[in-house]
Each structure stands twice: as structure tokens, then as C-alpha cells.
Amino acid sequence: MEKNAFSCDWRNPKKQGVKNKNRFYKYRGNFTWRGIKTERYKSRGGDWSDIVRQTLIGKHGETVKFHVRYFEIEPDGYSSLEMHKHEHVVICVRGKGKVLVGKKRYDMNFMDTLYIAPHSPHQLRNPFDTPFGFLCIVNAKRDRPKILVKI
């Protein structure tokens, strides 16, 4: 092999010794997956209501640069109005919801997809009678949100 030849077998020296394993999380129905815990949206703060999350990818030893999470907002629930340096992708997979991003408002329905740019104030709400569930893809390394309004 040539001294400067390119190889598809490149290994990241920072991640050597980390044992990534293929993982399969069986969907159990009702927007839950075997082996995935349901958690509170945040550990503290009164600036949100009636949300839970499940981290599908990113908390189980993976070395990915992103996390895939499923959030569910119950009727009349809402997330914090916040902003931060990292970005999000939000994909509606259950029910419908309303999203504020900057000064724009969006109605999200099944499979609608929203990119939230860094430093964009945002909040997700569910004023409807059924749960609003969405996948959220976010940077693995991210800053803490700055809460903009206490509700």
C-alpha cells in the first residue's frame, strides 16, 4: 500500500477503546421502545408542563455526534421558551402541536419537519385534546438552554 494512500478503515484515535455495539430497540406500541426509559423533560424548573422524553440514540454508549429523542407533550402542555447555541430538527410523529420559533408560529402535523437554527428562541405547545409527539435530533455536545420567560 502506498505511504499516503487513503483508506476507508480510518479510525478516530480519540475513540479507540470505545466499544460501540449495534443496538435494536423494539417498538412496543404507544410510542414506547423496549429498553428505553421514559424521563421527565427536565430535572427542574417550573417553565414547562406535561412533557416526557425518551432518548433513543445517544445515552447508551454510542459515539454519535447527535442524539435522537422522542418527546411527548400532553394536552395543554408546553416546553420552556428558550434559546441556545445548538440546533434542532423536530419531526412530528403523533398528533399535532404549535411551535414558536423566533417571531414565527407554525402548526405541526404528522411528518412535518422543522429545523431550529442556533440562537433561535423556541417553544413547543400542545393546545389540542391528544398527545403531541415528536422526534428531536440534536447535537450530542450542546450548551445549556437560556430560559427566556418563566410561565
Q: In sequence order, what are the residues at sequence separation of 6 or more whose Cβ sits closer than 8 angstroms to the Cβ of residue 130?
A: 75, 94, 95, 96
How many residues can be counted in the chain? 151
Distance separating alpha carbons of residues 86 and 88, to the nearest angstrom: 7
From 36, 136, 137, 138, the catalytic residue: 136
Annotated catalytic residue 92? no
Across 37-55, b (16+ Cβ under 10 Å) vs e yields eeeebbeeeebbbebbbbe
If DSSP codes are grouped into helix, strand and coil, which group holds residue 14? Answer: helix
The answer to whether 100 and 147 have CB atoms below 8 angstroms apart is no
Cite the active site residues: 136
